[in-house]
Structure formats: structure tokens, C-alpha cells
Amino acid sequence: MEKDLWEPKILAFLCTWCSYAGADLAGTSRIQYPPNVRVIRVPCSGRINPLFILKALQQGVDGVLVSGCHPGDCHYQIGNYIGRRKSSSLKRFLDYLGIDEGRVQFSWVSAAEGAKFAQVVKEVSDKIRNLGPSKKFVNRIGPIKGVRE
């Protein structure tokens, strides 16, 4: 594939109470943003098991975005604080291993921040487009089939 035709595939884990609604607002407000993200809705950013992120990378996505409610705004009070600790420790560890800095990115986006959501997606996509296709920690045999198909 020609390099300029290549577009990154980005998986976004969005908290249903904030960033997911923020994405919705971006849509209903007709704000344009790059079409590179595929969204998985989660109940809270604290629900995101680091294994989700690693599995996504291994299955060949070029980047992962994790987005939740601003500090103090979590629907479950502390889910995003707990998630933040998992994120900071995971991020540092992935950097240490030599996985390209920027493959996994994080943001706070509230339900009212449609424009911010669009901006975040743009920044994340740009950064990952610059990194190019993910090559390091990727399954080469191809995607695995689900257990219950």
C-alpha cells in the first residue's frame, strides 16, 4: 500500500457517561473529525483493564485512545482516579519496552465537550499517522477468531 494512502486504525475506549456522550455531541453538532477511530463504549474509564489495550495493540490496531470523565466528575466517584493510576503505570511500562510513545493516548472529555472530542481525535490521529503502521507488538498470523462464533 502506498504510504500516503495508509490511514491509521485507532481503537477508542470511551466512558459512556462523558466521552461517549461527547462524541455523540460532536456528531449531532456536525463537527468534522478524522474517521480513524472505532469506538468501544465502557461504563467508566476505571473499567478499562490494561489487557484491553494490550490486546488491541497485539491484534494490530495502530493506536489506542482511552477517554473518561474529568477528575471529580466520574459517575462512580473514583473510577477515573483508579483508572488514572493504571494508565500512568502502563504508559510508562510500554515506553520502557520501546513500544512507540503515542500508540496509547489518554484524554478527559466531558459530555459537553463535543468540540474537544473532535480536537482530541484529530491530535491522536495525526500523531499516530506520523508514527506509521504499528509494527512492533503485533500478531503476524492474523486476527484470532472469537471463541463463540
Q: Which of 31, 39, 40, 82 binds another protein (CB under 8 A)?
A: 82
Beta strand extents in the chain (DSSP E only): 10-15, 37-42, 63-68, 104-108
The yes or no reply on residue 78 touching another protein (CB under 8 A) is yes
The yes or no reply on residue 130 touching another protein (CB under 8 A) is no
Sign of the four-CA dihedral 70, 44, 39, 23: negative
- Smallest distance, Å, CB 36 to another protein? 16
Q: Which of 74, 94, 111, 124 binds ligand FES (CB under 6 A)?
A: 74
Rounded distance between C-alpha atoms, residue 103 and residue 119, angstroms: 17
Which of these, 112, 126, 104, lies nearest to 12 by C-alpha position?
Answer: 104
Instruction: Note the Cα 108 to chain centre separation in Å.
Output: 11
The yes or no reply on residue 56 touching ligand FES (CB under 6 A) is no
Rounded distance between C-alpha atoms, residue 134 and residue 129, angstroms: 10
Binding mask 27-66 for another protein (x = CB under 8 A): -----------------------xx--xx--x--------
Query: Is-contact 12 40, C-beta < 8 A?
Result: yes
Residue 76 binds which of ligand FES, another protein, none (CB < 5-8 A, kind-dependent): ligand FES
Residues forming the site for ligand FES (CB under 6 A) = 15, 17-18, 44-46, 68-69, 74-76, 79-80
Residues forming the site for another protein (CB under 8 A) = 50-51, 54-55, 58, 71, 78, 81-82, 84-93, 95-101, 105-108, 120, 123, 136-141, 144, 147-148
